[in-house]
């Protein structure tokens, strides 16, 4: 089974970290990524630029509109993702629970639809 | 329990009716034995088939088909030595047949059928693990499912309650419950929630949802949501059995507390209704009818749970039940201790039903006036508007205070909410007694 682990962080909280804290947090992410590569769970993953850089695109009645990025007022924003391989949801939850942001934000674990 | 699904209907096994009288009586004997086996074993057969087939809906169909096969074959070939193993094996064959038929439209199912058949040859029939029911319980109570879905699914799959029975236990509509069950099953399938007992570290954190479900099942058996009979011992015994399995497996204080609570309530089964099925309230019960063995077992579990210092609401409720159980007569009940335990419970578990019971205990300790103040505070919250015992308790306190009109109104409200014959008759007796009483002046 493939699962997408969507990482929701509070950007304000991340932004208020001291340089030392931010470096330590990045270090945790690098160690985590290494560990899931070694364990064979890792299929892919990326960090995203802050939500201020986002653009929402919609087509309505054939007309395209592009507007400034989504729901900036919500507390937690999508900050990155991992695509993982796990044998079932319990294993996926266990892998997701070790993502560094799980301690400060929320990880949403979504199974990939199989066709 | 739901109606037995193989009961002869237009498409049922009605062809038996054409055979001789001897065969007919043998058949009805087999039919009643199949009925008994259905009640005792259908959930275990289901739990095992879910493990073997990996799919709730396919397993449910397989259980249904297996029992139809039993009704057809057992009168002809005799009862198998191990009916449960026979049913599991028959259910597995039926599921493979079903997948083969469907494979004409969906080729991937053909591969699944072949896979199931090959694993079947490898697995001996005796491989029916008692743990399957525990697997089923923990899967139905998985934290990735919404809480109301966990409870509905467990009552449906583990205990075999109908959607309507679950709806009444929840004070909600049947289509809502049906939808919760469908969604929960879909999530188990689509998110691949595994069919397993959680590992040692996860076990305690997964326990709360399970205990809550066991408690609801016990209550459904102890005071069922509808029907003539006041108790359905099979459900209560089922909940107690589940409780014993959990205590044995986990030795967790709250599992002990819940088991103790159920045992002490169960000890009063024979005393709480008349031979006609009418309700006998705790204070009027013949305490000689209480089962002392169950009480002793419950008390020792309460002591073990409390001495762990990691107990919670179930242990507190069990401790309250134990105080009642230790009073030689109703008048000798230690209401001060009970009210004190309710104070602690109301902090640990601040729900309106606990607040209602605390109010009743305060009425017993400090008099009906003090209790009525508390009950009216609870009722003002509005969450117990449809809870008949809230209105019945208010009516009783008003009656004791001589406020007859208020008592009548509250009893009438409770009567309108009663779904069970014995509850209705109890409330009607109270209303009739009030009609004879004269208001205090």
Q: What is the pLDDT of residues A25-64, one digit of tens each?
A: 999 999 999 999 999 999 999 999 988 888 889 999 999 8
The pLDDT assigned to B174 comes to 92
The pLDDT assigned to B209 comes to 79
Q: Cα separation of B47 and B87, whole Å?
A: 12
Q: Cα separation of A98 and B1, whole Å?
A: 44
The pLDDT assigned to B390 comes to 94
Judging contacts by C-beta atoms under 8 Å, the chain B residues touching residue A89 are 142, 144, 191-194
Q: At what angle do helices B131-140 and B233-250 cross, to 10 degrees?
A: 90
First and final C-alpha spacing in chain B: 51
CA distance A88 to chain B (A): 5
- Pick from B138, B178, B183: which is nearest to B158 by CA? B138
CA dihedral B203, B206, B207, B213 (to 10 degrees): -150
**Reported confidence tier of residue A21, pLDDT bands at 50, 70, 90:** very high
pLDDT at B13 over 50: no
- Cα distances (Å, whole numbers) of residue B101 to B21, B60, B299, B358: 37, 17, 56, 59
The pLDDT assigned to A70 comes to 75
* Interface check A87 vs B, CB under 8 A: yes
Contact A87 B194 (CB under 8 A): yes
Q: B283 or B395: which carries more pLDDT confidence? A: B395
**Reported confidence tier of residue B205, pLDDT bands at 50, 70, 90:** confident
> Considering only B7-21, B155-169, B405-419, which range has the smallest mean pLDDT?
B7-21
Helix (H, G, I), strand (E, B) or coil at B76: helix
Contact A89 B192 (CB under 8 A): yes
Helix (H, G, I), strand (E, B) or coil at B355: helix
Judging contacts by C-beta atoms under 8 Å, the chain B residues touching residue A109 are 191
**Reported confidence tier of residue B228, pLDDT bands at 50, 70, 90:** very low
Give the residue ranges of DSSP H helices in B54-82.
Answer: 56-77
The pLDDT assigned to B92 comes to 94
Q: How many contacts, defined by CB atoms under 8 Å, are there between A and B?
A: 22
pLDDT at B89 over 90: yes
> Considering only A84-98, B134-148, B180-194, B335-349, which range has the smallest mean pLDDT?
B134-148
Contact B220, B161 (CB under 8 A): yes
Q: What is the pLDDT of residues B39-55, one digit of tens each?
A: 888 988 999 999 999 99
pLDDT at B227 over 60: no
> Considering only A16-20, B149-153, B264-268, B283-287, which range has the smallest mean pLDDT?
B149-153
The pLDDT assigned to B10 comes to 37
> For residue B352, what are the contacts with CB-CB under 8 A and spacing of at least 6?
B378, B381, B383, B384, B387
The pLDDT assigned to B26 comes to 64
ipTM of predicted complex: 0.83
* Interface check A61 vs B, CB under 8 A: no
The pLDDT assigned to B28 comes to 73
pTM for the predicted model, two decimal places = 0.70
* Interface check A106 vs B, CB under 8 A: no
* Interface check A90 vs B, CB under 8 A: yes
**Reported confidence tier of residue B159, pLDDT bands at 50, 70, 90:** confident
The pLDDT assigned to B20 comes to 44
Contact B168, B109 (CB under 8 A): no
Contact B193 A87 (CB under 8 A): no
Q: What is the pLDDT of residues B408-431, one digit of tens each?
A: 999 999 999 988 788 888 899 989
């Amino acid at each position: 089974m493939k699962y997408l682990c969507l990482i929701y962080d509070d950007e304000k909280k991340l932004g208020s970290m001291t340089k030392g804290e931010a470096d330590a947090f990045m270090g945790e992410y690098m160690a985590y990524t290494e560990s899931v590569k070694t364990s064979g769970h890792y299929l892919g993953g990326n960090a995203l630029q802050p939500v201020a850089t986002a653009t929402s695109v919609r087509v309505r009645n054939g007309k395209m509109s592009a507007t400034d990025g989504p729901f900036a007022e919500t507390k937690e924003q999508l900050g990155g993702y991992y695509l993982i391989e796990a044998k079932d949801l319990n294993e996926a939850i266990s892998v997701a629970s070790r993502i560094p942001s799980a301690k400060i934000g929320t990880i949403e674990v979504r199974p990939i639809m199989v066709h | 329990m739901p109606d037995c699904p193989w009961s002869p209907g237009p498409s049922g096994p009605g062809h038996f009716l054409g055979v001789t009288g001897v065969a007919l009586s043998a058949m009805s004997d087999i039919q009643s034995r199949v009925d008994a086996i259905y009640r005792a074993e259908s959930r275990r057969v289901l739990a095992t088939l879910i493990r073997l087939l990996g799919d709730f809906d396919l397993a449910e169909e397989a259980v249904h088909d297996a029992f139809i096969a039993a009704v057809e074959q057992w009168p002809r070939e005799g009862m198998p030595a191990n009916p449960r193993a026979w049913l599991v094996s028959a259910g597995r064959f039926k599921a493979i047949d079903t997948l083969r038929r469907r494979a004409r439209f969906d080729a991937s199912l053909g591969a699944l059928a072949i896979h199931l058949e090959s694993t079947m040859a490898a697995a001996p029939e005796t491989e029916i693990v008692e743990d399957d029911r525990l697997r089923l319980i923990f899967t139905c109570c998985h934290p990735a499912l919404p809480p109301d879905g966990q409870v509905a699914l467990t009552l449906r799959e583990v205990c075999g309650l109908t959607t309507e029975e679950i709806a009444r236990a929840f004070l909600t509509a049947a289509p809502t419950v049906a939808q919760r069950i469908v969604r929960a099953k879909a999530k188990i399938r689509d998110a691949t929630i595994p069919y397993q007992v959680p590992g040692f570290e996860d076990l305690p954190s997964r326990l709360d949802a399970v205990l809550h479900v066991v408690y609801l099942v016990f209550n459904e058996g102890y005071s069922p949501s509808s029907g003539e009979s006041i108790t359905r011992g099979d459900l209560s015994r089922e909940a107690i059995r589940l409780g014993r399995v959990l205590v044995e497996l986990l030795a967790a204080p709250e599992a002990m507390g819940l088991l103790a609570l159920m045992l002490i309530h169960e000890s009063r089964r024979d005393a709480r209704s008349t031979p006609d099925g009418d309700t006998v309230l705790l204070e009027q019960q013949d305490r000689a009818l209480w089962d002392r063995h169950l009480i002793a077992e419950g008390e020792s579990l309460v002591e073990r749970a409390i001495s762990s210092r990691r107990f919670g609401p179930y242990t507190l409720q069990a401790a309250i039940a134990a105080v009642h159980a230790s009073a030689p007569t109703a008048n000798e009940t230690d209401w001060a201790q009970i009210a004190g335990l309710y104070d602690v419970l109301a902090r640990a578990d601040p729900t309106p039903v606990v607040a209602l019971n605390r109010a009743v205990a305060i009425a017993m300790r400090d008099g009906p006036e003090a209790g009525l103040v508390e009950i009216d505070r609870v009722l003002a919250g509005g969450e117990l508007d449809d809870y008949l015992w809230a209105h019945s308790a208010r009516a009783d306190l008003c009656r004791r205070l001589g406020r007859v009109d208020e008592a009548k109104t509250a009893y009438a409200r409770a009567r309108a909410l009663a779904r069970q014959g014995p509850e209705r008759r109890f409330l009607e007796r109270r209303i009739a007694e009030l009609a004879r009483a004269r208001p205090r002046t």
